[in-house]
Chain A
Amino acid sequence: MMKTFLVARREFVTTVFTKGFLLGVLMTPVMIVMVVGAISLTQLLKGPTVTGNIAVIDQTPGGAVGPRVLERFSTERIEKERADRAAAVGKLAEEQAQKLGVAGPQTQAAGRFATAALDNELAKLKALSVTVLPPGTDVEEQKKLLGEVDVRGQRDVPGKGVGTIAVAIVPEGALSPGESGAYSRFELLTANRLDTEITSEIERRVGQAIVDARVAADPRFAAGGLGVQELRRLLDAPDAKVGAVTAGGGVKKSAGVFQFMLPMAFMLLLMMSVMTGGNYLLTTTIEEKSSRVMEVLLSAVSPLELMVGKILGQMCVGLVILVVYSGMGIASLFAFALQHQLDPMMLVYLVVFFLIAFTTIASMMAAVGSAVNELREAQSLMTPLMLLIMLPWLLWMPISRAPNSMFATILSFVPGVNPFVMMLRLSGSEPPPAWQPPVAILVGLVTVVVCAWGASKVFRVGVLMYGKPPNFRTLLRWIRMA
């Protein structure tokens, strides 16, 4: 018992207190934050400003579209949009701050950040001018001009007489439906190599101008006093306040995307902690074998003590990862005032299923590690094991969509994958019937016993076996023989 503990302690200490582990495990979240931060920062980067003219050939009767496009690109309009959106962002930040019970610098900083990003986006549009051309303008002539203009050359040379970088041709039928009942589409020609961001912004704004013109031209709306703004509000489909009624009659607020994310987070946590510990176990076992320290160890401990000690040590490594990451997860839940979404019982299940999944996979890892001489040779034996571990990935979608389907229920009792599947189902919005988790745990425990028993047999033979790496048939023979 003491020896097993000593082996476990060494295994844990030599794994955790290494630069690789500390950097890998603790830096990963820091890296994630940094990457997210870096992506956000690119929003602040000033993109190259394209200076140029947008020509609108308005062929609609009365030329109702041209002026509207002009208005959509006007400085006043852009300033107003900026003010509206900045106000919306500010309101959102304030709401969040109230929820969290914090105020001040962070939210202000977030607000400033958002408006700065907004400024960048809109600044590009300010450099664009709009000219409305008469309906009879020669399109071919315009195309020729577009083909000659150098978009890059327009950059940063304001006042040099801007060239046309885009031509929007709004056809006659754009405002009134034809015989088929459909409105004609408009055509947008751009200079070669014009940024897609600008192209889509032009497309959006011209499109909006056309809709505005349609509504204004339609006598039915005019008669009812219905403007474009009112119409937009009318057509905006509302979001539902989704809630699930619990047994007591209370309503549990659903967090939408969150409901979907939580099971995935749980499964990821489980996988990551199991895999990390399991992989370390594989490498340390192979290392002990290849450095020939194995037999020296066996002079002091029995193969079983060694294997159990190693599995326990790496189990603690897995638990460290589980605690660090779930701790961060829980902390962020609190940060976003979503802690009510998390049932504390889930954490208990998480630990239970971790212990089951880890011991099952670690036993197999120990067996594989003991049977080979170097990591390279482990590949062929690892393939089925990796498949077993990857399986929950493939099953994640079908199970989280229908957590109580026959398929999901059966998988909850299939040895090897059942801890992952059960964790997915338990953390989902529709928990499985009460009898299922205990049965799944029982199946898991039986799996653990069988795997550990088989692994101990392979381990005992394997640790002193050098030379040709065995295949599965050999491993089975070792189990029978030992």
Chain B
Amino acid sequence: MDGPARGAPTLVDPMTDAIQIAQLRKTFGDKTAVNDLSLAVPSGSLCGFIGPNGAGKTTTIRMIMSIIFPDSGSLSVLGRPSAVESKDRIGYLPEERGVYKKMRVGAFLTYMARLKGVDGAAAKRRSADWLEKVGLGREGKKRCDELSKGMQQKVQFIAAVIHEPDLLILDEVFSGLDPVNRRLMRSLIDEQHRAGRTIVFSTHAMYEAEQLCDRVFMIHQGVKVLDDTIGGIRARFDPRTIVAEPEEMRGVDPDSLRALPGVRSVEVGTSELTVRVDDRTPPYRVLAALAGAAAMRRVELKRVSLEDVFIGLVTDHDDAGALRQELRRTDEAEALQGAAS
């Protein structure tokens, strides 16, 4: 059984995990959409579920929502074996989302709230309050198709949270939003998070996840390639690249820099030097040495972005075998790290 071995970052605790997935598998015809996926979403966390288009994010989310059913594997949502039993405690914003075009905005939200178990009077009040909150207070009487796309997105978000769910699943929540509304959406998500709700949101835009999440799942071609906290990822993908910008390029001798202790290689660009640090030396030592070696305008440790991690993980390992190897390697590293601390 390779579940526990790979599941090292996956905490299996029904009391604290809002979602648990073990060895989930789903095929459509001869295409495997999700392959042997295991993960756990801790209660109260804000998790990013990232991967390129077609990675299997939406399929996984639909399985979590019991909209489609897995071929094999087990699943638990809010302590129940199926989301059907706890639908009213889950808020779901699907990727394929729309509104009843001819319905009035207020009526649509009230209807959705009522469908999720909110009683009539409260549903009406909450929909009015929410519309006010996102700046659509005057649009309540309008028909849904009179709203702009951005406004419709807000209405859909309200529809997902109006019943005050314990778990919020947002599929591609930022797509189609302009920068102003992105910021609004981020603050709304943050507010939900601070209210103690567990939030899972999927995106293919890595920087959104980086800014918001405390935990990230990365999935590629139906297989999980990364499952860690943001801090953990930063530690794991330990940056060993330094960018140095000298006052004057001509005054720098690359060979003398290469001779510095701990330097593996130096690349010379037009205005920048890219220095790689070997595995044994702490990067700060090289930083200090570089700063003293020439007149530098700027010397900094290059920060790893999720995107770099992701690209690094998925472009080199297009076949499953290589991916598994990669996973085993990172799992071992994790185990060693765990043993050390």
Which residues of chain A have a CB within 8 Å of any CB of chain B? 2-3, 6-7, 10, 14, 287-288, 291-303, 464, 466
Contact = CB atoms under 8 A, between A and B. Distances in A.
B102 A14 contact: yes
Contacts of B11: none
Given A295-B67, A300-B112, 4 more contacts: A7-B115, A296-B93, A299-B87, A303-B67
B93 to A, nearest CB: 8
B112 A302 contact: no
A291 B155 CA distance: 14
Contact of B115 (A6, A14, A288, A466): A6
A374 to B, nearest CB: 14
22 contacts: A6-B111, A6-B115, A7-B115, A10-B111, A14-B100, A288-B100, A291-B101, A292-B97, A293-B100, A294-B98, A295-B67, A295-B96, A296-B94, A296-B97, A296-B99, A296-B112, A296-B156, A296-B159, A299-B65, A299-B67, A299-B93, A300-B87
Contacts of A294: 96, 98
A287 B102 CA distance: 10
Given A295-B94, A295-B96, A300 B101 contact: no
B100 A464 contact: no
A298 B103 contact: no
Contact of A299 (B68, B90, B100, B103): B90
Interface string B77-119: 0000000100110111111111111110000000110111100
B65 A300 contact: no
Nearest to A303: B67
B159 to A, nearest CB: 6
A177 to B, nearest CB: 78
Given A293-B98, A296-B159, A464 B87 contact: no
A291 B103 CA distance: 12
Contacts, number: 68
Contacts of B116: 300
A293 B62 contact: no
Nearest to B163: A300
Chain B: number of interface residues, binned into ranges: 20 to 34
Interface string B31-74: 00000000000000000000000000000001001111000000
Contact of B100 (A291, A301, A466): A291
A302 B115 contact: no
A480 to B, nearest CB: 14
A464 B92 contact: no
A297 B65 CA distance: 12
A302 B83 CA distance: 10
Given A6-B114, A299-B65, A293 B102 contact: no
Contacts of A303: 67
B115 A300 contact: yes
Q: List 4 A-B pairs, minimum CB-CB distance, nearest first.
A: A292-B98, A299-B92, A295-B94, A300-B115
B209 interface: no
B160 interface: yes
Contact of B98 (A3, A10, A296, A302): A296
A3 B95 CA distance: 23
A235 B252 CA distance: 133
A404 to B, nearest CB: 49
Interface in B112-135: 112, 114-117
A466 B28 CA distance: 14
Contacts of B111: 6, 10
Contacts of A295: 67, 94-97
A156 to B, nearest CB: 57
Q: Which of B95, B101, B103, B115 counts the most chain A CB atoms within 10 A?
A: B115
Contacts of A6: 111, 114-115
A169 to B, nearest CB: 72
A289 to B, nearest CB: 9
B67 A298 contact: yes
Contacts of B99: 291, 293, 296
A291 B98 contact: yes
A385 to B, nearest CB: 26
Nearest to B68: A464
A341 to B, nearest CB: 44
Nearest to A482: B69
Contacts of A298: 65, 67, 94
B41 to A, nearest CB: 17
B145 to A, nearest CB: 9
A64 B174 CA distance: 102
A464 B62 contact: yes
B98 A299 contact: no
B111 to A, nearest CB: 6
A297 B117 CA distance: 13
Contacts of A302: 66, 84, 87
Nearest to B160: A299
A294 B84 CA distance: 16
A295 B159 CA distance: 12
Contacts of B88: 300
A320 to B, nearest CB: 20
A108 B115 CA distance: 59
Contacts of B160: 299
Contacts of A3: 115
A461 B91 CA distance: 22
B66 to A, nearest CB: 8
B98 A301 contact: no
Contacts of A7: 115
Contacts of A301: 87, 115
Nearest to B165: A299
A293 B159 CA distance: 11
Contacts of A14: 100, 102-103
Contacts of A297: 115
A214 B47 CA distance: 108
A452 B100 CA distance: 25
Contacts of B117: 2
A302 B84 CA distance: 7
Contacts of B103: 14
A430 B111 CA distance: 51
Contacts of A2: 117
Q: Which of B100, B116, B117 counts the most chain A CB atoms within 10 A?
A: B100
A464 B98 CA distance: 13
A135 B159 CA distance: 97
Contacts of B94: 295-296, 298-299
Contacts of B90: 299
Nearest to B102: A14
Contacts of A466: 96
A301 B92 CA distance: 12
Contacts of B84: 302
B112 to A, nearest CB: 7
A370 to B, nearest CB: 13
Q: Which of A291, A297, A299 counts the most chain B CB atoms within 10 A?
A: A299
Contacts of B96: 292, 294-295, 464, 466
Q: Which of A2, A7, A298, A300 counts the most chain B CB atoms within 10 A?
A: A300
Nearest to B84: A302
A296 B100 CA distance: 10
Given A293-B100, A296-B94, A299-B92, A464 B114 contact: no
